[in-house]
Amino acid sequence: MSKTRVIWIGLALLLVAAMVLPFLVKNYRVFQFNLVLVYAIAILGLNILTGFNGQISLGHGAFYAIGAYAAAILMDRAGLPYWATLPFSGVLCFVLGFLMGFPALRLAGHYLAVATLALALAIPQLLKYKLLEHYTGGVQGIVLVKPEPPFTFRFLDQPLSADRWLYFFTLAVTIVMFVLAWNLLRGRVGRALVAIRDHPIAAAVMGINLAMFKSLTFGVSAAFTGVAGALGAVVIAFVSPDSFTVTLSIFLLVGLVVGGLASIPGAFFGAIFIQFVPNIADELSKSAPAAIYGVLLIVLMYLMPLGVMGMVRKLWARWQPGAARLQASVKPGTSVPVPPDLTKESTT
Amino acid sequence: MNVEGVIHQIFSGLANGCIYGSIALALVMIYQATHHLNFAQGEMATFSTFIAWALIQKGMPYWMAFALTFGLSFLAGLAIQRLILRPVERAPVLTNVCVFIGLLLIFNAFSGWFFDHTVKAFPSPFAQEGILKTPFFSAHEFGSFLVMLAVLSALYAFFRFTPIGLAMRAAAQNPDSARLVGIRVSWMLAFGWGLAAAIGAVAGMMVAPIVFLDPNMMAGILLYGFAAALLGGVDNPWGAVIGGLIVGVLENLLGAYVIGTELKLTVALVLIVGTLTLMPSGLFGKHVVTRV
């Protein structure tokens, strides 16, 4: 069986499993799975920027927050239905991300990390700011109403509850976003992004407009994360400044590294990790999740710099020797995004 | 807005600026040697301050706890560089940023885990009504100003007059030539880390009586440290100190008269992005020209 065929069958089975899953577990678990999907979109957004384009952002929680607040304000003040808020959040974050991308053009590596970290730290304060309080609800935040399912039925003895309905909505959005990202990254644009990451000068020589591509990447990445934020606001039905601290940005980075840099499906592993590991670790101590994340970040950098997906690829190559050759010889016209070579010595 | 008030704000800004300056100095020390910005600097300082707090709680006299914390922080910084940073010394930026963020999370978690999350008062060694109280400075502000001045002079003397200070400067400036004349460059980096951790610890102990001690105490201060370091020029230690003073005064004046205290971190954000975009080498930094 060819590799593509295996992947398609696997995806179909996964989809069926994902459709049945919410009816097998309790409502609270469904809510948690909703968040997994939301985080997966957010991590995918960060991956487009950091994994594929090599621009380090420690502040994607800020775009998540802006997306969430935009959705919440539109629902709360303008009375828009929940599904209509997503495009607004996406477009708003695209514009803001694009603007943030302009200074980012002049900042490489660490400097961009500092600037985005500052953004992540400043956002909760800005959301609490008294001149904006009329819209943002200040420290209190905004409480939303969870949308009711438009129709209802019972399956496996479980009703289609609000959370289950939202699960299907979130799943649909997730599929759309992942297909969009896949289409964006598998062609010319994806190759340009990877070229910019690996050798900006060579990329510029080949006629890639660095400034435009980097700013646009920032915008697209922010838009993905903004849509995730809007979905998150709908799923949780509440936004407040203190849910969007710098911790969120750092957790997204952890999810990215765990799942795998420059890997689209890796975002799911990262999302599952940041959603469920804290729940388990919390029983040990309130501080345990952060400690585990910290140790894991460092250990992963030493042992598994390409995360879970890097491991999966390696095992696949070992299990089926032909696959390794397929990966190595990229046919013209198809693009296999090459993972960043984290073990290579930097030239600077 | 009276003159007296403005002067008071400026002086108190200078006192804060000393603390930002010393965090910036710690950042610059590591940057000069390795070209990495240490995102964990603030959390390391917080953890050191917690150790000092625990020692004082056990009944140790303040200055003894101070000295012990200084020494322990130096050793811890040295150990971190040797054990954790050395394997990734030459790795790409993203790897290093991830390791620094990992350290940040670990130290933050440890502060909360070992010393719990309640906000604690940290004693000031300078008596409220002592001789240090002046019309414009509170006793603690003036005292911390003096402490920072002492640290700076000691550092200057160390780098200027001792053989090991000279070796460290050589290792930072030209690692290859330094290695050829027999300097153990890698160990010099470790010393730099130790010193940075110790300076951070002093800054932490000086700022804790003002902002109170809790595991997230340093997040905002680190951001101001970054702003100060970048403003002064990230490869210039004197620039870092002057940048710290400027940022401190600016923060106080803007906070008191222009935008209020609620947007302090946004000021730091604007300063950082503004400096990096308009004046990437800062006020006193070297202009870097890259050959392509």
* Amino acid B134: pLDDT: 66
Residue B278 forms contact with A (CB below 8 Å): no
A97/B contact by beta carbon, under 8 A: no
Nearest in space to B22 (alpha carbons), one of B215, B224, B170, B193: B224
Mutate to test the interface with B, among A287, A300, A343 (most CBs of B within 10 A): A287
Nearest CA in chain B to A343: B91
Does residue A348 have a pLDDT over 50? no
Task: Report the pLDDT averaged over residues A40-60.
Answer: 90
What is the distance between the alpha carbons of residues A174 and B192, in angstroms, rounded to a whole number? Answer: 47
Comparing B71 with A124, which gets the higher pLDDT?
B71
What is the number of alpha carbons within 13 Å of residue B263 lying toward its C-beta? 19
Alpha carbons B206 and A116: distance in angstroms, whole number: 28
A158-159/A142-143 β-pairing:
unpaired
**A143 membership: H or E segment, kind and range:** strand A142-143
* Alpha carbon of A109: minimum distance to chain B alpha carbons (Å): 6
How much is the pLDDT for B291? Answer: 65
Residues A235-253 pLDDT 10s: 888 888 888 888 889 889 9
Contact A121 B265 (CB under 8 A): yes
Predicted local confidence at residue B131, as pLDDT = 63
pLDDT tens by residue, A280-290: 777 777 777 88
pLDDT of residue A345: 42
The answer to whether the Cβ–Cβ distance between A250 and B105 falls below 8 Å is yes
Q: Which residues contact A336 (CB under 8 A, 6 or more apart)?
A: A327, A330
Which one of B37, B110, B113 has the shortest CB-CB distance to A114? B37
Asked if the C-beta of B103 comes within 8 angstroms of chain A's C-beta atoms, the answer is yes
Q: Quick check: B269 contacting A, CB < 8 Å?
A: yes
Work out the pLDDT band at A334, boundaries 50, 70, 90: very low
Per CB-CB distance under 8 Å, the chain B contacts of A343 are 91
Domain boundaries, chain A: 25-151+158-245
How confident is the model at residue A321, as a pLDDT?
Answer: 61
Cβ neighbours of B24 (radius 10 Å): 34
Residues 74-93 of B with CB under 8 A from A: 84, 87-88, 90-93
Tell me the nearest-neighbour CA distance from A58 into chain B, angstroms. Answer: 9
* B contact test, residue of A126, A297, A344 with most B CBs within 10 A: A297
Q: H or E stretch including B111? A: helix B93-115
Spatial distance between the Cα atoms of A36 and A270, rounded to a whole number of angstroms:
9
**Integer CA distances (angstroms), A171 to A15, A34, A37, A84, A231, in order:** 10, 8, 7, 16, 11
Whether B21 contacts B245, CB under 8 Å: yes
Q: Which residue of B has its CA nearest to A198?
A: B92
A126 touches chain B (CB under 8 A): yes
Mean pLDDT of B104-114: 88
Is residue B31 predicted with pLDDT exceeding 90? no
With CB atoms and an 8 Å threshold, state whether A294 touches B99: no
Chain A residues in contact with B101 by the CB 8 A cut-off are: 58, 250, 253, 294, 297
Note whether B269 contacts A118, CB cutoff 8 Å: yes
Mean pLDDT check: name the lowest of A70-74, A284-288, B100-104, B197-201: A284-288
| Residues near B43 by beta carbon (within 8 Å), at least 6 away in sequence | B103, B104, B107, B108, B111, B218, B222
Say if CB A339 and CB A198 are below 8 A apart: no
Phi-psi map region of A339: left, alpha, beta (phi>0 left; psi -120 to 50 alpha): beta
Q: In this structure, is the dihedral angle defined by the CA atoms of residues B16, B17, B19 and B23, taken in order, positive or negative?
A: positive
- Residues of chain A in contact with residue B273, where contact means CB-CB under 8 angstroms, are 103, 115, 118
Residue range A111-121, pLDDT digits in tens: 888 888 888 88
Nearest residue to A236 (alpha-carbon basis) of A248, A220, A253: A248
Structure letter (DSSP) for residue B234: T
ipTM score of complex: 0.85
Using alpha carbons, select from A345, A250, A290, A298 the residue that is nearest to residue B99: A298
The alpha carbon dihedral of B149, B151, B153, B156 has a sign of negative
Q: Quick: pLDDT tens for A73-102.
A: 888 888 788 888 889 999 999 999 988 887
Model confidence pLDDT, tens digit, residues B199-250: 999 999 988 888 888 888 888 888 899 899 888 888 788 888 889 999 988 8
Among the partner residues B90, B226, B277, nearest to A346 by beta-carbon distance: B90
Q: Are A249 and A59 in contact (CB under 8 A)?
A: yes
Dist. CA A218–CA B91, nearest whole Å? 24
pTM: 0.85
